[in-house]
């Protein structure tokens, strides 16, 4: 029996409100041994106050030593075992922009990149090209790319990201990424992981070849890489599993997509954290659970920008009073994974996690940071158990057994 089957008979309704406030890539590392992490360096008075009143720990997104992508990281936070429920990034991006996937579709998250004269990647994100510059390029690809035997649908997302959906017979989505995750080397060829995906891999290679030819004169986005190549996923509905009517408040399409795939309502069209707080307030009476996503602790970490991540962490903290003014019964602050600026990538390190509730067992933490969370009352736990803790602290779980 998995955890979902265990808790379904225990669910009980009440009027409690749960807020999960996710600082993407929140966890970090010190720049030198014995120093402070980005979170510990940042001035976070509001989270520190709640840490004193709540209980802290470190969540393990997938398993010890495994560095997760954003998809598995968020699935774990939502209580879905990320090893059991595999959702490719392509499906997340497509759903996040409101694209309705059909059975047999293959969805791909594409990144514009910059190639040098030798055909090697000099910038994996094309200088984080602004959306207003990338959208016309995507629209050009949508019109001009043609591949025999398949319908190629190309849609803009945000900045350097866009979505490709392949529609036609005989397609399967078990194909490796073409992003080498490094500069100074060319994009990888698409490699099918099984015989059924060989046709898809061939189409992916043809797509990249056409993009490279069409965009040869572009100064930034002159090629692309393909990631998260996947078919349409199947996953149990969040409200069915937890008895919670859930809302997602996010800026970036991928996170809207993931929330939508598990059955949350994506509400508002906020573009800043202040606007997200307004959306939260406007929808407070309509939902039991709120997922609020803050992206920039991750992007600054990926850029290797320690000081910038500190600043973004302070922005993350600054919104907390607006959440607490609504008087949630359970408030959770955490991340989907760690993104230390020192590594400039996602990492395997446990993610600082804070749970505040009126009936939680306090642990003596004096602030919210990696060192305090390492010895906190939640311990080091798998992220997939966080939703059960939220339900329990909201008095939404009955006793198990006689």
Q: Is the pLDDT of residue 36 over 90?
A: yes
Q: Write down the mean pLDDT value for the chain.
A: 95
pTM for this one? 0.80
Instruction: Tell me the torsion sign for CA atoms 342, 345, 351, 357.
Output: positive
Strand partners, 57: 353, 379
Q: How many CB atoms lie within 10 A of CB 344?
A: 14
Distance CA 18, CA 330 (A): 5
Delimiting residues of CATH 3.40.720.10 domain(s) in the chain: 3-87+235-393
Q: What is the pLDDT of residue 100?
A: 86
98-99-103 Cα angle (round to 5): 135
Spatial neighbors of 169 by CB under 8 A, at least 6 apart, are 104, 149
Distance CA 105, CA 345 (A): 30
Q: What is the pLDDT of residue 92?
A: 82
pLDDT band for position 259 (cuts 50, 70, 90): very high
Q: Is the pLDDT of residue 298 over 90?
A: yes
Are 376 and 361 in contact by the 8 Å Cβ rule? The answer is no
Summarize pLDDT for 89-135 with one digit per residue, the tens: 898 889 888 888 888 999 999 999 999 999 999 999 999 999 999 99
pLDDT band for position 1 (cuts 50, 70, 90): low
Q: How many CB atoms lie within 10 A of CB 65?
A: 8
What percent of the chain shows pLDDT beyond 90?
A: 88
Helix (H, G, I), strand (E, B) or coil at 354: strand
Q: What is the pLDDT of residue 88?
A: 80
Summarize pLDDT for 41-71 with one digit per residue, the tens: 999 999 999 999 999 999 999 999 999 998 8
Distances (CA, A) of 85 to 75, 109, 228: 8, 18, 14
Yes or no: domain 3-87+235-393 corresponds to CATH 3.10.20.30: no
């Amino acid at each position: 029996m998995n955890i979902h089957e265990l808790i379904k008979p225990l669910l009980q309704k009440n009027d409690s409100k749960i807020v999960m406030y996710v600082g993407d890539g929140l966890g970090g590392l010190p720049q030198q041994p014995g120093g402070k992490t980005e979170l510990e360096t940042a001035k976070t008075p509001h989270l520190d106050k709640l840490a004193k009143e709540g209980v802290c720990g470190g969540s393990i997104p997938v398993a010890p030593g495994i560095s997760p992508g954003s998809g598995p990281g968020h699935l774990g936070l939502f209580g879905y075992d990320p090893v059991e429920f595999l959702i490719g990034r392509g499906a997340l991006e497509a759903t996040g922009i409101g694209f309705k996937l059909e059975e047999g579709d293959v969805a791909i998250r594409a990144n514009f990149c910059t190639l040098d004269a030798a055909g090697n990647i000099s910038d994996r994100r094309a200088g984080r090209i602004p959306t207003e510059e990338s959208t016309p390029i995507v629209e050009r690809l949508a019109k001009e790319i043609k591949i025999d035997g398949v319908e190629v649908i190309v849609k803009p997302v945000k900045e350097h990201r866009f979505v490709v959906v392949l529609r036609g017979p005989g397609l399967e989505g078990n194909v490796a990424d073409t992003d080498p995750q490094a500069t100074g080397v060319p994009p990888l060829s698409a490699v099918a992981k099984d015989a059924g995906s060989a046709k898809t891999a061939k189409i992916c290679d043809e797509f990249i070849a056409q993009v490279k030819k069409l965009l040869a004169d572009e100064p930034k986005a002159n090629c692309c890489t393909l990631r998260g190549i996947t078919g349409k996923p199947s996953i149990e509905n969040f409200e069915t599993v937890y008895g919670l009517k859930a809302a997602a408040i996010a800026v970036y399409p991928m996170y809207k997509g993931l929330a939508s795939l598990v059955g949350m309502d994506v509400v508002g069209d906020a573009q800043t954290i202040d606007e997200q707080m307004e959306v939260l307030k406007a929808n407070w009476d309509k939902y039991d659970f709120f997922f609020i996503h803050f992206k920039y602790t991750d992007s600054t970490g990926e850029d290797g920008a320690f000081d910038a991540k500190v600043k973004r962490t302070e922005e993350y903290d600054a919104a907390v009073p607006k959440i607490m003014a609504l008087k949630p019964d359970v408030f959770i602050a955490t991340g989907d994974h760690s993104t230390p600026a020192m590594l400039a990538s996602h990492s395997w390190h446990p993610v600082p996690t804070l749970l505040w509730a009126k009936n939680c067992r306090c642990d003596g933490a004096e602030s919210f940071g990696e060192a305090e969370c390492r010895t906190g009352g939640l311990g080091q736990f798998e992220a997939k158990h966080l939703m059960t803790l939220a339900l329990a602290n909201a008095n939404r779980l009955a006793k198990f057994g006689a």
